[in-house]
Structure 1
């Protein structure tokens, strides 16, 4: 989807101060050095802090927001409740439409797509806030061992989108899905009547791999990465790419599921950026966190273009194309 006349006016990453250090085996195997850990704040409060930082940076009053889209993958602190509405309430975004987005780890980009589409289609929607927040607290979630090749950190992100000029121009976003791969996170488990007490991603993945689906998943993932990159670049006008930001996953996952697709898409000279070694995977927030870090570190000069890749269980893959404006 070509994004016409849209800019990113602020990107903010809020990380808890506390970190858990990785053991040498994890550093060697997955590349993570530490994970960010929220000792007390629940995810919606982390999102409030990220959103406040973005609003201050852009000098936008929360009362001027028309849309608040919030994405997450894990428990937000209450059952049968809307964290998106809480966020709008806490910020004072009284006129905004709050929307919750659950597309697993691709939720941040899915929420951005939703906001961008709404702004382009509806003249009455001028300003949108897109947030993500997750906290992977024990004992329900073992952030180091619940999954293969991925360790999970706590944190929140906030993006501000609007028409007109901003520090980063949004050029395009492309997404593709392979819904038959939802089996990876369902495995052999029967449907339950209530949530489980402990999240064990490895159990369903073991069943998926034992059934012989591993090679098909890898092929599908690389084909999807290649396809969304090519589509996003074509819709952006085939700009020269300076850098590619990968999700905050372990090194082996990136080597198997992302790098071959990038090579197949012809991106052999662009710098490959990995930001997650000191945070871990931030749930739905990897893409937005990477945008925020690129902006904070000034990794792009005016006119330079970056790709931001994202994926989530189900499976869906996305590619966002951004250009630094100033």
Structure 2
């Protein structure tokens, strides 16, 4: 979908502490061969911070940089996958109260690792449909800690990092114009992360979560070639559609922000698929963060902005996927190069 005069006005992130992967290997917490294949240097660890507070810490600089006051925010969306700090609770309202305030709708998105980009598309749609609303705040946060997750071993081809990210979408202007977005889904793949059967309470299958076994059983039945083909097709669909609507192609993109999955998966799913080099991506940054669920894309864009890696006229692709399965892509054009100090806690 092509967008007219829609912008990202501010971004922020919170990736607090580092757990160095070489030390995790030395201590027996991380397999040496997987470390070599995944290529991570370190993983972001939240420590005592709740997931919801990670989002608050990311949203505050995003708002300050956007030039929008809290009263301008007409919608708050929060994307997450896991526990946000309390049971039977609405984290989006907590985040809203501690950032923008006001009485705008505050809603939560459960779209797995695609939640941040899904929030971007939903926020743009809301602003487009509500002509009196000038801006929306989209946040993401997750904390993949024990006892529920063993971040180094619960899943394969990636290590899970804690963190929050945020973006303010605006009708007035911003440092990046949103040219186009696209979304796709293939719910026939949802079983890959569901496994066999349901339960009446969380974590009935034991802790920490063993996502590897769920995926292994699914792959044994369906076959890796079939799954890989469908996943690649979903990603290609959204990138092709968004680039077409933006009036550009792969060669016209200066930087790509993909999920912070392991290096082997980045190579197979993204670099090889689109024929691009690693230095056009944010992998060098992501290898020090880990896969932060829905937060990789806003976090990567924020990193590019804070480090002076963006120039007016650059076009940037944000793309990724989420369990379920769903895919999304956004094509941006940089209007002005931000001059921001790092926002990470």
- TM above 0.5, yes or no, is yes
Q: 2 CA distance for matches of 1:63 and 1:305?
A: 30
Correspondence for 2:268 among 230, 235, 256: 256
SS of residue in 1 equivalent to 2:112: coil
- Note if 1:272 corresponds to 2:272: no
| CA shift for structure 1 position 5 | 0.7
SS of residue in 2 equivalent to 1:106: helix
Q: 2 CA distance for matches of 1:203 and 1:286?
A: 25
* Kept in 1: contact 2:17–2:47 (CA 8 A): no
| CA shift for structure 1 position 91 | 2.2
Counterpart of 1:201 in structure 2 is 211
Q: 2 CA distance for matches of 1:276 and 1:269?
A: 12
* Kept in 2: contact 1:12–1:53 (CA 8 A): yes
- Note if 1:33 corresponds to 2:41: yes
Q: 2 CA distance for matches of 1:18 and 1:227?
A: 35
* Kept in 2: contact 1:134–1:155 (CA 8 A): yes
Q: 2 CA distance for matches of 1:270 and 1:250?
A: 16
Q: 1 CA distance for matches of 2:259 and 2:19?
A: 20
- Note if 1:223 corresponds to 2:229: no
Q: Deviations over 1:279-326 (max 9, x none)?
A: 100011111111111111222211010111111001111111011111
* Kept in 1: contact 2:66–2:174 (CA 8 A): no
Q: 2 CA distance for matches of 1:317 and 1:112?
A: 13
Counterpart of 2:6 in structure 1 is 6
Q: 1 CA distance for matches of 2:278 and 2:17?
A: 35
| CA shift for structure 1 position 62 | 2.2
- Note if 1:74 corresponds to 2:82: yes
| 1:18-167 equivalent positions in 2, closer than 5 A | 18-22=18-22, 23=25, 24-167=32-175
* Kept in 2: contact 1:262–1:268 (CA 8 A): no
Q: 1 CA distance for matches of 2:224 and 2:246?
A: 33
| CA shift for structure 1 position 57 | 1.9
TM-score by length of structure 2 reads 0.89
Q: 2 CA distance for matches of 1:98 and 1:90?
A: 12
Correspondence for 1:285 among 291, 295, 305: 295
Q: Runs (4+) of structure 1 moved beyond 3 Å? A: 24-27, 267-270
Counterpart of 1:16 in structure 2 is 16
Q: 2 CA distance for matches of 1:133 and 1:53?
A: 15
Counterpart of 1:178 in structure 2 is 186
Counterpart of 2:329 in structure 1 is 319
* Kept in 1: contact 2:83–2:143 (CA 8 A): yes
Q: 2 CA distance for matches of 1:242 and 1:92?
A: 32
| CA shift for structure 1 position 45 | 0.8
Q: Deviations over 1:159-181 (max 9, x none)?
A: 01111321111111111111100
Deviates more, 1:277-286 or 1:234-243: 234-243
| CA shift for structure 1 position 238 | 2.0
Specify which structure has the higher proportion of strand: 1
TM-score by length of structure 1 reads 0.94
Q: 2 CA distance for matches of 1:164 and 1:65?
A: 12
Q: 2 CA distance for matches of 1:99 and 1:232?
A: 26
Q: 1 CA distance for matches of 2:67 and 2:278?
A: 37
Counterpart of 2:343 in structure 1 is none
Counterpart of 2:199 in structure 1 is 192
CA 1:53–1:195 in 2, change beyond 3 Å: closer, same or farther? Answer: same
Any gaps of 5 or more consecutive residues in structure 2?
26-31, 337-345
| CA shift for structure 1 position 88 | 1.1
